[in-house]
């Protein structure tokens, strides 16, 4: 894994962007599907009603982030904060590598890469 990694997440998926000197790689971690006989869409309610799904999702995401040196967590809603709390409880070494948590709606891949590059550039200057 590279020095800088950004993860955009909501309750359905996480997009992991790993930055290299002249490129960026993206991977997706999906929240586990669950059988639900109700006709509501899977969103925030889905993981809140199924906390084991959330734990499995965040556990899988932690696995995808192994080797990260600096982590930026972004997303449109509460999932980014829930993931941060998960790290606090289950993976303190990765939590210590979090350099920021920011609200970012639903960016395109290019917008997410541009936002994260700008954020990391500023964070590097602050050090």
Domains of the chain: 4-126 (3.30.420.60)
Residue 36 has pLDDT above 80, yes or no: no
Q: In this predicted model, what pLDDT tens digit does every residue of 75-92 receive, in sequence order? A: 999 999 999 999 999 999
In the chain, where do the E strands start and end? 4-9, 13-20, 23-30, 70-75, 98-103
Which of the pair, 23 or 34, is modelled with greater confidence?
23
Vertex 51: Cα angle to 49 and 54 (nearest 5): 115
How far is it, in rounded angstroms, from Cα 94 to Cα 90? 9
Structure tokens at 92: 């303190």
Percent of the chain residues topping a pLDDT of 90: 65
How far is it, in rounded angstroms, from Cα 66 to Cα 81? 19
What global pTM score does this model have? 0.84
- Give the residue carrying structure tokens 């997440």: 9
Q: In this predicted model, what pLDDT tens digit does every residue of 89-105 receive, in sequence order? A: 999 999 999 999 999 99
């Amino acid at each position: 894994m590279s020095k800088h990694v950004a993860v955009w997440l909501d309750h359905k998926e996480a997009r992991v962007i790993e930055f290299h000197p002249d490129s960026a790689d993206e991977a997706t971690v999906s929240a586990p599907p669950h059988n639900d006989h109700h006709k509501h869409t899977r969103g925030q309610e889905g993981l809140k009603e199924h906390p084991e799904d959330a734990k499995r999702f965040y556990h899988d995401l932690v696995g995808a982030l192994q080797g990260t040196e600096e982590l930026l967590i972004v997303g449109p809603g509460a999932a980014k904060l829930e993931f941060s709390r998960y790290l606090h409880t289950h993976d303190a070494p990765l939590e210590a590598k979090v350099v920021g948590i920011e609200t970012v709606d639903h960016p395109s891949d290019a917008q997410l890469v541009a936002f994260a590059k700008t954020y990391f550039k500023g964070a590097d200057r602050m050090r």
